Amino acid sequence: MSRLLEVDGISFAYGSRSVLDSVSFHAGAGEFLALIGMNGSGKSTLLDIVSGFRRPEAGSVVIGGRRQLEWKRREMAQQVSHLPQSIHADLPFTAEQLVGMGRYPHTDSWFESEEDHRHIRAAMERTSSWPHRHRPFQSLSGGERQRVLVAACLAQNAAVLLLDEPSTFLDIEQQLHCFSVLRDEALAGKLCIAATHDLNLALTYCTRLLVLANGVIAWDIRTAEAHENKEWLELFSRRLELGTTPSGAPWVWYQ
Amino acid sequence: MSAAPQLSFTARYSLVLSLAVFIAAALVLPWVGAGSISLTRVLRRQEPDYEILLQLRLSRTLLALIAGGALSLAGTLFQAMLRDALATPYTLGISTGASLGAVAVIALGWETLHGIPMTWIGALIGAFAVLVIVIGGAFRQRQISAFGLLLTGMAINSICAAFILILSGFAGISRSFSIARWLIGSIDATSYTSLAVLATVVTLVSAVILSQARNWNLLAVGERWAASRGVHVGSMLAQGYILGSILMAGSIALTGPIGFVELIVPHVVRSRVSSDHRILLPCAFLLGGTLLALCDTIGRIVIPPAELPAGAVLALIGGPYLVWIIRQRAPAEEI
């Protein structure tokens, strides 16, 4: 049986600057992958390619056993949801209108149906953004905005969720909330891939770490086994140490 | 579940109201003008009342309604595609390109050739030439940069404006006067044939734009956002720029470059009614048409027997409003 997502030999360059050089990984339903790596290591580019926004120069992306190029955009949108890194903050839409956009790929009807509204409400309640539904997006705080955007991805009800730094600009409580919502999604049978710089969030909530460096996946390790080999940490900084929390979970600190 | 009925109620309410205002403008405004028209004389088809109402005032009111609607719709579309409340076909140079095309035709004295309205053709060619240059200039990495588009547009704008000056310098006194008159932007009585052509083009193009309303919503958020929600970003943008330019060039050819309507109307409707393009687009069309027709009527009655061009009336209202928008605008942040 094929895995939900198969990425094989993906290469991509911006002009003459090569960013990804034959990246491969497979992932299945129920996994929560942390995509980590230094600035400019190609995390966002890889998510752009998996979401279909960019075409790779070589390699293939197979989703649900079917090559990405064979999917229609609309069908892809029912399978893959992408939360990009930068969204303009001065959008004129209300929170509810933004979340409602997640339903567009599912229906042809001009306005959202009762069923769409149930999805919208459920997604907004899960991210505690339902009380802000009538507020303009631009009037929300950074954390409230991010929760609305995550809700928009949840409302899309796709099998694969791609999130580019979903916890940036969030306070610690919100970061934990965001990642626990994503972990719940994975437990419910979705595949979540989050690009992040926060190693401890990744170690705490994710099932697997994909470390991008020099255009390839330098390390692909299960979080449960992350403390067995500490070499992957050195890619980030020589000042990092890996230990365990009192509960036995891996934890990164710096000297 | 209170949100669902409430939304469609507001939507229906604002759509019906805009449509009512639009129809009311079409029925009432032709009767307003320097000389009063008697209803009984019109019904008896007596001259000159019947002639003035039907041949002069009705045709120009209809032209204002259609052109104002088309311009507002194009403005709304460009603001969505560029995610910039101040982006219009003007800032992209498309309007000035259309003007240059039309001015070139006037300068050559080819306004009508074998009954074909050549200013129209000139405006279309000008608009598309600029569109190709501007988009070509901003096209990088198989993507269009909104910032590059605006900067290139401004450069092209100045170049076209310079060519317009050169053309009117060489055109001789009478032609250069008609060029200057044309450039102010005015609604004049038009033949019903040109009106019918414009109305057909505008209706078809607007229908296509409106049918993609949900895609404009997605694009107004961002290109990645739209792509992962089922939009073919590249072809959608190409479609939007082409259709918007047809609306622009078609209207400008008959009215001259009327500014501000495509800037103000989308902005007001977005902040007062809805930013959901399913409601925003039709309301912007209907209210934009009404506003231009109203400005034309005001221009007709303020200093009789002379007339103030609709473009001038609109600029007097729109200029201060534009300054106000800029002052109100908070600096854009990214999250």
User: Tell me, what CATH number does B254's domain have?
Assistant: 1.10.3470.10
| Residue A192 main-chain phi, psi, to 5 deg | -110, 135
Residues of A in contact with B4 (CB under 8 A): 112, 114, 117
B1 in a structural domain: no
**Which segments of chain B have a pLDDT < 50?**
1-6, 332-335
Q: How far apart are CA B256 and CA B186, in angstroms?
A: 6
B165 in a structural domain: yes
- Give chain B's domain count: 1
Residues of A in contact with B83 (CB under 8 A): 88
The mean pLDDT value for A106-130 works out to: 90
B6 in a structural domain: no
Query: CA–CA distance from A153 to each of A62, A101, A157, A189 (Å)?
Result: 21, 9, 7, 15
Question: Over the stretch B97-136, which tens digit does the pLDDT of each residue have?
Answer: 999 998 999 888 877 766 667 888 888 899 889 988 888 7
pLDDT at site B331: 52
Look at residue A28 and give its three-state secondary structure: coil
Cα angle, residue A184 at apex, residues A182 and A186 outer, rounded to 5°: 75
Closest CA to B195 of B70, B332, B334: B70
pLDDT at site A205: 94
Residues of A in contact with B86 (CB under 8 A): none
Query: Which residues on chain B place their C-beta less than 8 Å from a C-beta of chain A?
Result: 1, 3-4, 7-8, 11, 83, 85, 141, 214, 217-218, 220-225, 227-233, 270-271, 275-276, 278, 330, 332-335
B89 in a structural domain: yes
Measure A100 CA to nearest chain B CA, in Å. Answer: 10
Q: How confident is the model at residue A2 (pLDDT cuts 50, 70, 90)?
A: low
Residues whose CB falls within 8 Å of the CB of residue A87, separated by 6 or more in sequence, listed in order: A145, A149, B221, B222, B225, B334, B335
Q: Which residue is associated with the tokens 């279909």?
A: A52
B334 in a structural domain: no
Mind listing the domains of chain A with CATH numbers?
5-254 (3.40.50.300)
B333 in a structural domain: no
Q: What is the DSSP letter of B334?
A: B
Is the pLDDT reported for residue A11 higher than 50? yes
Query: CA–CA distance from A41 to each of A50, A167, A196, B140, B326 (Å)?
Result: 16, 19, 12, 21, 39
Report the Cα B186 to chain-centroid distance in Å.
13
Task: Please answer yes or no on whether A53 and B228 come within 8 Å at the CB atom.
Answer: yes
Residue A142 near residue A129, CB atoms below 8 Å: no
B335 in a structural domain: no
pLDDT at site B325: 67
pLDDT at site B334: 40
The mean pLDDT value for A71-96 works out to: 88
Q: Which residue has the higher pLDDT, A158 or B144?
A: A158
Residue A25 near residue A210, CB atoms below 8 Å: yes
Domain around B295 = 12-328
Q: Which residue has the higher pLDDT, A255 or B275?
A: B275
